[in-house]
Structure 1
Amino acid sequence: MMRGRVLKDRIEGIRLSQVSQPLRRPASDAKVATGRQVPLTSVELLCAEIVDAEGRTGTGFTYTLRAGGPALFALAEEIAPMLLGRPAADIPAAWDMLAWRTISLGAGGAAYHVLAAFDTALWDLKARRAGLPLARLLGAWRAGARVYNSGGQYLEASIDEMRGAARASVARGIGGIKMKVGQPDWREDMRRIEAVRDAIGPDTALMIDANQQWTRAEARAFCRRVDDMGLAFIEEPLEARDFAGHGALARELVTPVATGEMLTSFDEHAALVAAGGAGVLQPDAPRIGGVTPFLRVMELARANRLTLAPHFVMELHLQMVAAYPTEGWVEYFDWLEELFDERLEIRDGRIWVPDRPGFGLTLSDAARARTVSTTTLGAPPEGGT
């Protein structure tokens, strides 16, 4: 009897897809203003669909920005055969095996991005087999999470455009607005902050994000200017791995410091937390390797009584934030919505966990149309799902 269950649990097939999703409008943040980056024009995804011996499919994905899409697909194609025949339910063991096979690339970076595609697909499959949303499989504390919108508030937007976008977000039921700062003239940042605050009123949460572009002196000066404005948090005031600098700055401010999105492993998050550098922790599941390491970061955040506000990909992060003991935030972006047949519900300042099993997502015809490369190993998923 036991052997029969094990055989049904075998990974029998994997389909990989490299998907290029263009943005409707190029997006610029402080990294563009300082000349370190070019405007963002697309999101490059690696999607993994994993099939078990009973024909059930789990779907997961990871992403990269500006560069690396073909590299992620090539590495995934190379290591995917290592999963065939393995038990689909033994997710941490599969993650550890793939991490060791790719260790020469470093503990993080492109290797962990690729691991995230497989890992999220396996967690999706596990929850689908249980007939539960992933949040409930993990032990949900609530049916949804507070949600804030970052779209419409990038530096390429005029003040009038920002005000209009912010009002539209609030009218839709979004509970917070995050805007980009970090321009060469700090006075312009202040004008834009005041304009958006005036547009949304005093009761809607407002956050700012400098995208790592300030020196310690610049960050200290600007953050002290806005520390009495009631901001929900100040994001990435310093370079992502300046843990000591973030810790020193956080100790000076009333406003919580938020960071963590650029870190690529549990160990980096542990170092940031040990330095006291984040009151709001912002792990990114695709960057750190998927749900498996994300759960470890969640426990780290819980033990240190931090707010959890993961970066980007609400389609994945909603499930984990709903399974976190204290209220966190989910970041709303509509960039990836058309790649899935389903939509997430937003109302009353919150985004709600769907009652569908797993992540509750199905790759759409649009995702298939934007697929640049694809390959299938073993049994293919049925019906493209």
Structure 2
Amino acid sequence: MSDTIRHIQLSSVVLPLATPISDAKVFTGRQKPMTEVWFLIAEITTADGLEGVGFSYSKRAGGPAQFAHAHQVSDVLIGEDPSDIGRLHVKMLWAGASVGRSGVAVQALAAIDVALWDLKAKRAGLPLAKLIGAHRDSVRTYNTSGGFLHAPIEEVLENATRSREAGIGGIKIKVGHPDPRVDMARLTAVREHLGDDFPLMVDANQQWDRPTAMRMCRAMEPFGLVWIEEPLDAYDYTGHADLARAIDTPIATGEMLSSVAEHLRLIDERSCDVIQPDAPRVGGITEFLRLSTIAAQAGLQLAPHFAMEIHCHLAATYPIEPWVEHFDWLDPLFEERMEIADGRMIVSERPGLGVTLTEQVRSWTVETAGVGRR
């Protein structure tokens, strides 16, 4: 007889950030500095006593909404076979169909979906990447968290040195400052600091209009960047496509899109060279894998956004050599650390995602709910 889902524990967790974070959206007045990240954590227990853990997240707003929606729909999984992940994902979608298939509606499901995949891999005694089918046991990794616009350039350079010495294989800095001279001065300083051959990326966080983006992208061509990220509004498919055709430097985008359907427009309109889906934002691992198959067929490079604990496994399954973003913000949530060596992030050999929650998570938990029986 198949194992069944007995209990799902949901936790809303607020992770405080040590330093308020500012990118271009703050400097243009569209957002306040980020001081915390909300996480929705799902812990699934089966009748046989097996456990899986997953998470999704939101920055600045949306955490309580994700928690509430997940609580409403998760009871449809009680008594179900946890191995039937695709069917269960559709069942949850239909349970919340009136609020659609993007945004909070799918981000709430992502934590549960990830927990189901973690559980399935643990049952098989395999790392998640091996369960899905890995192309490699490590992935190129780059650091973003040291290059935000609120940091003085001296601090950015120190962070870059520290990351490089730690084995990080690339550095990304934030641009999109209202004064383009600031962007160019910071980029020049970082390129000179790293040397011509070290992989360097920039991220404008959607803050340029079309004429500005064209000018800035052309001005940045001589810097030999791996990519220019989110030069335009995330939903400006046509503008991104025009840039991708006009600029030799690869154009990257996709992290802010919250469904597979939205990413399909990026692919159909050839709006990017590097696609940057985020599994927690698009609905979990099930949806990410559906999208990555299509992206690979289109010949796109892959660089998943944030959540390296999930994306290291998923990037390892992509047929084209990918990048994974290194953020240490989530370190307080997990007992384990991602291993970095020679510019690459090593795929964990532990079963499942290979992470366990810390006790600190409990102290940051602001709300809990359970469905089923313990």
- Compute the TM-score of the two structures, normalised by the length of structure 2: 0.99
Which residues of 2 match residues 137-176 of structure 1 at below 5 A? 137-176=131-170
The CA distance in 2 between the partners of 1:263 and 1:34, in whole Å, is: 21
| Identical aligned residues as a percent | 52
C-alpha distance in structure 1 between counterparts of 2:34 and 2:279, whole Å: 20
**Structure 1: unaligned runs, 5 residues or longer:** 381-385
Match of 1:57 among 25, 41, 51: 51
Partner of residue 202, structure 2: 208
- Shift, 1:367, TM fit: 1.0
- Structure 2 residue aligned with 1:196: 190
Q: CA deviation digits over 1:343-383, x for unaligned, max 9?
A: 11011000001110010011111111211111222344xxx
2:332 is aligned with 1:338: yes
1:19-30 matches, within 5 Å, as 19-30=13-24
After TM superposition, where is structure 1 displaced by more than 3 Å over at least 4 residues in a row?
Answer: none
Alpha-carbon shift at residue 44 of structure 1 (Å): 0.3
The whole-number CA distance in structure 1 between the counterparts of 2:357 and 2:94 is 30
Residue 228 (structure 1) shift: 2.2
1:116 equivalent among 110, 116, 122: 110
Confirm or deny: 8 A CA contact 1:51 1:379 kept in the other structure: no
Match for residue 61 of structure 2 among 47, 67, 83: 67
Cα distance in 1 for residues equivalent to 2:71 and 2:95: 14
Alignment of 1:254-273 (within 5 A): 254-273=248-267
Contact 2:172–2:202 (CA under 8 A) maintained in structure 1: yes
* 1:132 has 2:139 as partner: no
Structure 2: tracts of 5 or more residues without a match: none
1:1-385 matches, cutoff 5 A: 4=1, 6=2, 9-380=3-374
Q: Which amino acid aligns with 2:183?
A: D
Separation (CA, whole Å) in 1 of partners of 2:112 and 2:321:
28
| Equivalent residue letter for 1:38 | K
Q: Is the 8 A contact 2:74 2:92 kept in 1?
A: no
Secondary structure (helix, strand or coil) at the match of 2:146 reads coil
Deviation at 1:200, TM superposition (A): 1.6
Partners of 2:202 and 2:294 in 1: CA distance: 25
User: What RMSD over aligned residues (CA atoms) do the two structures have, in Å?
Assistant: 0.9
* Matching residue's letter, 1:201: G
Give how far 1:157 is off.
0.5
Say whether the 8 Å CA contact 1:148–1:330 is kept in structure 2. yes
Find the aligned partners of 1:366 and 1:293 in 2 and give their Cα distance: 30
Letter in 2 for 1:354: S
Distance 1:103 1:95 in 2: 12
SS in 2 for 1:228: helix
Query: Match for 1:331: what amino acid?
Result: E
- C-alpha separation between the residues in 1 aligned to 2:373 and 2:330? 27
SS of the residue corresponding to residue 177 of structure 1 reads strand
Q: How far apart in 2 are the matches of 1:27 and 1:223?
A: 24
Distance 1:296 1:375 in 2: 30
User: What letter matches 1:69 in structure 2?
Assistant: G
